[in-house]
């Protein structure tokens, strides 16, 4: 019998997850279906209840429901617990299990696909919203020397307090960045959606630096700035998207799909 999965979000029509999971299923000969489902903004819990009663085995969670998915989970993976955000639900014998595969997706894309080792690197993460919370536990466990910069300083402070027990995070203001250089800068702000550029100064990239935008599908002002500033590697977040999906697929099916051909195929389609 075909096992049913879905991705829940609002909006959802732009999601590439159905194509990604279809390619994974073909590649690993898994008999699954995977639908995009639009949840009303105030109806997340009832959407999940409906999926459970319709016999779905799990779902991916995208914006803006990752915190509600965390709250609804009865069991949590370590990274979901730490980040308080869930992007993968598994429905199992009346229990809802929540995991967060965003962080491992990001770290795997950077280290495995782009070949950039994160251990002991000076990493600057821009942003202090949901996207940043989701990846910080894994960036810390990868051994980065992590700094956060955010437009609203208070939210960055709250973030550092939240993760205090996991490791040391330096909190910076954009105005303070002039005198430092980083080996890796990750854009976890929503600035690329509005085609804006966070106020980074010239000279912020060390030689051989990586610039990574968690946004995917098009060149962003941050990626263009990074190229102009001589960053060695510049990447969008498509690899992260496919890697986090592969980790979710593994949680559901206990089979790990190969990601490289899927990244190439999805890139061809965009
Ligand atoms: P998400 O869940 O995608 O992280 P969010 O919670 O709304 O979305 O957070 C958006 C983040 O992008 C915030 O850190 C925001 O900074 P503020 O806390 O100061 O609002 C950041 N952001 C959005 N537009 C930005 C811009 N043009 N320059 C710098 N930071 C920006």
> Distances in Å between the alpha carbon of 62 and those of 14, 45, 76, 80, 235?
11, 14, 17, 14, 21
* CA nearest to 257, candidates 16, 15, 20: 20
Q: How far is the CA of 210 from the centre of ligand 1 (A)?
A: 21
Nearest residue (CA) to ligand 1, atom 24: 191
Location of each CATH 3.40.50.10860 domain in the chain: 3-100+239-269
Given a cut of 90, whether residue 267 has pLDDT beyond it is yes
Q: Which residues line ligand 1 (CB under 6 A)?
A: 127-132, 150-152, 155, 189-191, 196, 198
- Strands 75-76 and 88-92 turn out to be unpaired
pLDDT on residue 153: 96
Q: Could you say which architecture CATH assigns to the domain 103-236?
A: 3-Layer(aba) Sandwich (3.40)
Q: How far is the CA of 127 from the centre of ligand 1 (A)?
A: 5
Nearest ligand 1 atom to the CA of 63 is 2
Location of each CATH 3.40.50.720 domain in the chain: 103-236
The preferred substitution site among 65, 84, 124, 127 for testing ligand 1, maximizing ligand atoms within 8 Å of CB, is: 127
How do residues 100-146 score in pLDDT, each as one tens digit? 999 999 999 999 999 999 999 999 999 999 999 999 999 999 999 99
CA 18 to CA 21: how far, in whole Å?
A: 5
pLDDT on residue 112: 97
Given a cut of 90, whether residue 171 has pLDDT beyond it is yes
> Is 208 in contact with 183 (CB distance < 8 Å)?
yes
Residues labelled catalytic = 66
pLDDT on residue 104: 97
Given a cut of 90, whether residue 270 has pLDDT beyond it is no
Given a cut of 90, whether residue 85 has pLDDT beyond it is yes
Characterise 267 by phi-psi region: left (phi > 0), alpha (psi -120 to 50), beta (else).
Answer: alpha
**Residue 11, preceding peptide bond in cis (omega within 30° of 0):** yes
Q: How far is the CA of 222 from the centre of ligand 1 (A)?
A: 14
What CATH number was assigned to the domain covering residues 3-100+239-269? Answer: 3.40.50.10860
The pLDDT of 224-237, averaged and rounded, is 97
Confidence of residue 179 (pLDDT cuts 50, 70, 90): confident
Instruction: Please report where in the chains the tokens 């986090």 appear, as a residue.
Output: 244
pLDDT on residue 34: 98
Average pLDDT, the chain: 96
């Amino acid at each position: 019998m075909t096992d049913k999965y879905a991705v829940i979000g609002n909006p959802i029509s732009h999601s590439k997850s159905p194509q990604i999971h279809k390619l994974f299923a073909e590649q690993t000969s898994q008999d699954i279906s995977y639908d995009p489902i639009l949840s009303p903004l105030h109806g997340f819990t009832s959407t999940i209840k409906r999926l459970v009663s319709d016999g779905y085995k799990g779902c991916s969670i995208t914006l803006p429901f990752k915190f509600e998915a965390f709250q609804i989970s009865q069991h949590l993976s370590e990274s979901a617990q730490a980040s308080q955000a869930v992007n993968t639900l598994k429905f199992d014998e009346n229990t809802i299990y929540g995991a967060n595969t965003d962080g491992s997706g990001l770290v795997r894309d950077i280290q495995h696909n782009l070949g950039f080792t994160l251990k002991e690197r000076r990493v600057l993460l821009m942003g202090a919203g949901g996207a940043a919370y989701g990846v910080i536990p894994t960036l810390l466990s990868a051994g980065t020397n992590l700094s956060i910069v955010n437009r609203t300083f208070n939210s960055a402070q709250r973030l550092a307090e939240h993760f205090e027990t996991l490791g040391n995070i330096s909190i910076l203001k954009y105005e303070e960045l002039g005198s430092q250089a980083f080996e890796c800068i990750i854009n976890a702000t929503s600035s690329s959606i509005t085609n804006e550029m966070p106020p980074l100064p010239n000279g912020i990239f060390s030689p051989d630096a990586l610039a990574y935008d968690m946004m995917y599908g098009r060149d962003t002002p941050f990626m263009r700035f990074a190229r102009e500033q001589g960053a060695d590697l510049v990447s969008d977040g498509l690899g992260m998207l496919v890697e986090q999906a592969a980790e979710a697929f593994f949680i559901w099916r206990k089979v790990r799909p190969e990601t490289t051909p899927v990244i190439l195929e999805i890139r061809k389609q965009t």
